[in-house]
Structure 1
């Protein structure tokens, strides 16, 4: 599985908004500020923020005091919400959801494998909120998986 640059940038942008709003509502943050703080190309970020706005993850306000803010509390936005907003389904096989696939013959065991992979990825990404990351408080199952030495080594 590959996390796209678009998904990585989106999570980082939403996290930047969450950290700035951690102490309560603040003025909207300009895209230029987010881009500069996170090292994200500004034009690319504008498209990402548009997708996040259409998905209801962020809101935007035009004008001199305008910018972006979270559309709801960071504790109600999962990493999966952010990734889906910019990349679509979390796990796909050849661009299709595993549940829409059919295999025959010796390939039949692949379908439950792809579905299990999708379920596990979703379990992690839907179980971590932007607030968890902002508070540096990842859930225990995520910390345990990340602490496994094999998690950091390519086979």
Structure 2
């Protein structure tokens, strides 16, 4: 299975957008932060916008935001938005493959690989990838600063 640069860059851009939802982010800022070639990222973000995964605003206060909550954007959504298909073999999807003789069972394996990858990617959201990540500028609160209901007794 091949994960395209477009899919990788798209997920990384969405993670940046999910981390800071208070303001729009520019492609320049995302490209710099994630060390992604700007011109390539611009095309990727266009695909994400057409799929409704990001929304944009023009102008000096413009940029990009998530098109829907990070919890509702799966890795599968992203891959399909930028690549069109999850897995292909010589330009065909595994669903259409059929081989003769001793190789006749192989297309079933490719379909199982695709189904497994599809399930994992469908169950993984942008929000779940952020998990407990906090930028260096926003350290985790001290345990004593947490409300008593959130403290865990040791």
TM-score relative to the length of structure 2: 0.82
1:23-42, aligned counterparts within 5 Å? Answer: 26-42=22-38
Question: Taking structure 1 as reference, are residues 136 and 99 closer, same or farther at Cα in structure 2, changes over 3 Å only?
Answer: farther
Runs of 4+ more than 6 Å apart:
none
Report what 1:12 is aligned to: 12
Alpha-carbon offset, residue 114 of structure 1: 0.7
TM-score relative to the length of structure 1: 0.82
Number of aligned pairs?
133
Report what 1:124 is aligned to: 120
Structure 2 CA distance for aligned equivalents of residues 60 and 9 of structure 1? 18
Structure number with greater Rg is: 2
Question: Taking structure 1 as reference, are residues 56 and 63 closer, same or farther at Cα in structure 2, changes over 3 Å only?
Answer: same
Give unpaired runs (5+ residues) of structure 2.
Answer: 134-154
Structure 2 contact 27–41 (Cα < 8 Å) conserved: yes
RMSD: 1.3
Report what 2:53 is aligned to: 57
SS state of the match for residue 10, structure 1?
Answer: helix
Q: 1:98 aligns with which of 94, 99, 116?
A: 94
